[in-house]
A and B are shown apart, each in its own frame.
Chain A
């Protein structure tokens, strides 16, 4: 029986992080983490309390992430960290206080570039009643806010960043990491989920002001959940816009999903088959909305959950 992060003794956890033996199990992945405990520990305890974890690796770990100083001087003088996922990435060193950002970015890079078991699509995914809704948008397109809003309405959060599409079943797998919030979305999500679910704001990062929102314990309980996708949405937030849904030709939806996938070209034929299979079984829409409330109403309408 694995313990959860909150069950672990913080001194032991601190030591395991420094030693690089801390193992976090989330969704289909096991992550081996090493990093500066002073800033990383509060993030892990605050954002991943219900996640299964261990202080020593007892199985194969698929993702290995180290947050390390870019050079020896930066371990001591104005300490900095860089995410090292085990392969070269052009990451800008960050002040050590931004370790949570380095950690989340590092995990994203690992999933995006190293995963071969799933088609990874840059998209948020929520699920309810055994069916999933995928939301694919460019960075800043409002998918995290929309995912948070739907999560606040009782949808399980599978991910706000990556849809993990199973190559055989074409179902999506849950990977419920914290919701990544930027700038204006922070107060909105604080309002939606409650201030206690949102981390302190990390200011002046390369992405501006950022914060993270903890997913509900129920979503983490469905850690290994998977679901078929019934609705694929391409959200587009435009301040003041009237809510609007446009049905997309499935071929156009596939074109957009391929562009949003980080490993489609790498996987080739199995990825093509999985995406085609998913899209054929789903409805595809581009949606435009001017407020978060509108977006939830629109999605529920399209999902057949709300009044039409």
Chain B
């Protein structure tokens, strides 16, 4: 079976046009359109405004209904019809590399429902696990990640973004409501950004110097801004110096 070929030319042309429009917006906001090569502080600033960074490893972001977020790299299993693996959620939160308080994540990124513990029966279920990033947490993509990634261009940055509350419709539940306390729809949204993803914060700048985040990378920018508010340029949050340099440029 042959797969439908992608249309990379079209994608790259569209991307180029989008990049150009972004550059014009930055030009209207005062970005110089001609630079003369001399060692000057201005060049450093311009360079910083155009900075990008590459995530050194896969990043998973777990968001709850109150807008709190946990960032880490551990596995998070999700089973259709039953929800998240409670132990995974607990372990992820306990071992998160970074934790952001309630209210950090905008509502558009939060799950639609808050945790509901509806389960009180033990169950010997035989459903399939979506073992997301199972194993030793290596950088290999899980099957689900690969599946979700497949329609995207080869260089697409975002692997997967889904909210448990959104994806799990009532219809999905009809035949598998046997509850297992290990698997509960406990109202979390998970976002994954793959290793080596390049993030260019200026892509998320609006016309007036504000931020217009979207997608998983947009969520990463939101968390970066929150991190910068608390810690500035210090610490090891990947890409923080790039984000802080833009904030400095914008005078935020």
Contacts and interface: CB of A to CB of B under 8 A. Distances in A.
Decide if A and B touch, CB cutoff 8 A.
yes
Interface of A: 238, 240-247, 252, 254-255, 258-259, 290
Say whether chain B's binding surface is mostly helix, strand, loop, or mixed: loop
Say whether chain A's binding surface is mostly helix, strand, loop, or mixed: mixed
Interface in B202-252: 235-236, 238, 241
Contacts of B43: 255, 259
Contacts of B47: 252, 255
Contacts of A238: 241
Contact of A259 (B39, B50, B53): B39
Given A252-B47, A255-B43, A255-B47, A244 B37 contact: no
Given A258-B37, A259-B38, A242 B52 contact: no
B126 to A, nearest CB: 39
25 contacts: A238-B241, A240-B235, A240-B236, A241-B236, A242-B56, A242-B236, A242-B238, A244-B54, A244-B56, A245-B54, A246-B51, A246-B52, A246-B53, A247-B54, A247-B198, A252-B47, A252-B50, A254-B37, A255-B35, A255-B37, A255-B43, A255-B47, A258-B37, A259-B43, A290-B236
Contacts of A246: 51-54, 198
Contacts of B236: 240-242, 290
B88 to A, nearest CB: 24
Interface pairs A-B: 3 shortest CB-CB: A259-B39, A258-B37, A244-B56
A241 to B, nearest CB: 6
Given A252-B47, A255-B43, A259-B43, A243 B56 contact: yes
Nearest to B44: A259
Contacts of B198: 246-247
A121 to B, nearest CB: 13
A244 B241 CA distance: 12
A287 to B, nearest CB: 10
Nearest to A236: B241
B37 A259 contact: yes
